[in-house]
Amino acid sequence: MDLDRQRVLRDAIQVLIRNWHGHATVPSRSLYPHQWSWDSAFIALGLQHVSPRRAALELLSLFGAQWADGRIPHIAFNPAVPDEAYFPGPSFWRSGDRAGHPPIATSGIIQPPVHAIAAAAVSDGLGADGPAFAARAYPALVTQNDYVRRHRTLGRLAALVHPWETGLDNSPAWDAPLHAVPADLSLFDTYTRRDLHHARGSERPTNEDYARYIRLALAYRDCGYDDAIAQSSAEFLVVDPGFNALWAWSELALAALARSIERDPEPHLAEAARITAAMVEELWSSERGLFLAKDARSGRLLPERSVAGLVPLLLPGLPADVVRVLRQTLAGDCFRGQDGVRGVPSFDLTDPRYDPRRYWRGPTWLNTTWLVAVGLETHGDAQLADRLKADIVALVVKAGMREYFDPRTGSGHGTSSFSWSAALLVHILAGR
Ligand code: 9WN
C-alpha cells in the first residue's frame, strides 16, 4: 500500500474511533450527533475490518431502536446529547407518545434499508460467532422489510412521505413535489435550524425547503405515524428508485443470512424478483436512460436524472438491455462523460440545477458512488467499478473524510470527519 493510502487508512480508522460513542457511531460529532439508520449500515461495512464486534454492536444497537410495527427509525437519539444539539430532536418527534415505541427516543420516519447487506457481511467476518449474530439480526431485518411491504407500499413499490426518507434529501428530483408543499417560514418562530451552526448555508438546503421538511414531519407526527392516514392525506408521496432498489437488494442479503442459519431463502429471493420486476415496469425510462422517481400523488414519473436512478444496477435480475442502457448513461455526459469527473455525481451535470457544492444537488457522495461500483461488479464490469473505487480513494487523499465532494475539482464540502466516508474508504482499502 502506498504512503497516501496508509495515511488515509489511519485517518479513517481514527474518525471511526472518535465518532464511536460506546455502542454506535455518530455520522459527525458536530452536524449529526446521534445514530442515523442508513449511515450505521455503511459504517458497519467499514467497521468490520477494524473490529467485527463493534460492527455487530453498531447494527444490534440500531435494531434496539426498532418500533413494534417493524420500522427502523432514521435517527436513534443518544440520551446523553442535549435536545437542542440537533434539530429536529427528540422533543420534536415525540416517539414516546406512540404505543409500541422503543426504549429510547427516535425519529418516526425511515431511511433506505441497507442494513441486511451490512449484517450479511458482518456475519461472514465474525467467523464462529457469525451464526449467533445472524440469528439475532435476521428477525429484526425481516420485520424491517415486512413493515415496508405491509405499511409503505402503494401498489407494488414502497412510497416515502418525506425527502429525508430517501437519504438523498435535497435532490432536485424532489423539487416539483416538494415545492407543491407550502413553505411556512413562520415555523422558524418556533423551530431553529441547527445545521447552519455547523455547515455553510450555501451547502445546505434553503430555508424555504427546510420549512417544507418541518411541515411534512409535523404532519406525519400529528397523525400518530399512522401510514394509512399519512398516505391518504400526504402532501408529499414519492416512489424512489434508490430506496426500492436497496429494498430488493436487502432481500437478496436476507436470503444469504437465512441460509446461514438454516432458514428458507426462497421467500426472500421471490420478493427481490418481485420488486425488481415492478421497478422495471413502473420506474424504468428508456428515453431518459435510467430509473426515475414517481410522484405517487399525480402518478407521474419525475424526469430528473439522479444517482438514485443508477443504484438499481445492484440488482442481478435486471434485463440485459436495461443494464446496457444504464451503463451508457453512467458513462455519458450526465454523469461520468465529462473530463475530470470523479466518482458518480449525485445529480445530472447537464441540468441547470446541478450544483457541485450543495448537498445532494450535484456533489459526489461516497456511499452512492460505492453502491454504483458494486452494481457494476454485479454485472461484470470490474474495470469501471475499480475506477470508481480509485476515485473514492483519490477524493479522500486530496480532501479528507468530507461529507461530499465537488465532482470536478475534488474539493471537500459539508461536514468533516464524516463516518460513512471513513468507513467506505476502509472497506475499499480492504479490497471490497
Ligand atoms: C436528515 C446523516 C444524514 C444522512 C442523510 C443526509 C443528511 C439529515 C440532515 O445526513 O440528512 O436525515 O439533517 O440533513 O442527507 O442521507 O443519513 O449523515
- Ligand 1 centroid vs 406 CA: distance in angstroms? 18
* Predicted pLDDT of residue 339: 83
SS3 content of the chain, % helix, strand, coil (to 5): 55, 5, 40
386 flagged as catalytic: no
Q: What does the pLDDT look like over 50-73, one tens digit per residue?
A: 999 999 999 999 999 999 999 999
C-alpha to C-alpha distance for 271 and 212, rounded to whole angstroms = 34
User: Which residue is it, cell 408543499?
Assistant: 181
403 flagged as catalytic: yes
C-alpha to C-alpha distance for 271 and 277, rounded to whole angstroms = 10
Q: What does the pLDDT look like over 36-45, one tens digit per residue?
A: 999 999 999 9
Please report the atom of ligand 1 found closest to the CA of residue 169: 15
* Predicted pLDDT of residue 164: 98
* Predicted pLDDT of residue 201: 86
* Predicted pLDDT of residue 172: 97
Asked if residue 347 lies in contact with residue 172, where contact means CB atoms within 8 angstroms, the answer is yes
CB burial of 54-71 (b: ≥16 within 10 Å; e: otherwise) equals bbbbbbbbbbebbbebbb
* Predicted pLDDT of residue 432: 87
Q: Is the CB of 213 within 6 Å of ligand 1?
A: no
Question: How far apart, in Å, do the first and last CA atoms of the chain sit?
Answer: 15
The answer, as to whether pTM is greater than 0.95, is yes
Long-range contacts of 173-176 (CB under 8 A, 24+ apart): 173/293, 173/302, 173/304, 173/306, 173/308, 173/347, 174/236, 174/238, 174/293, 175/304, 175/353, 176/295, 176/302
Please report the atom of ligand 1 found closest to the CA of residue 38: 17
* Predicted pLDDT of residue 41: 98
* Residues in the chain, pLDDT under 70: none
C-alpha to C-alpha distance for 153 and 139, rounded to whole angstroms = 20
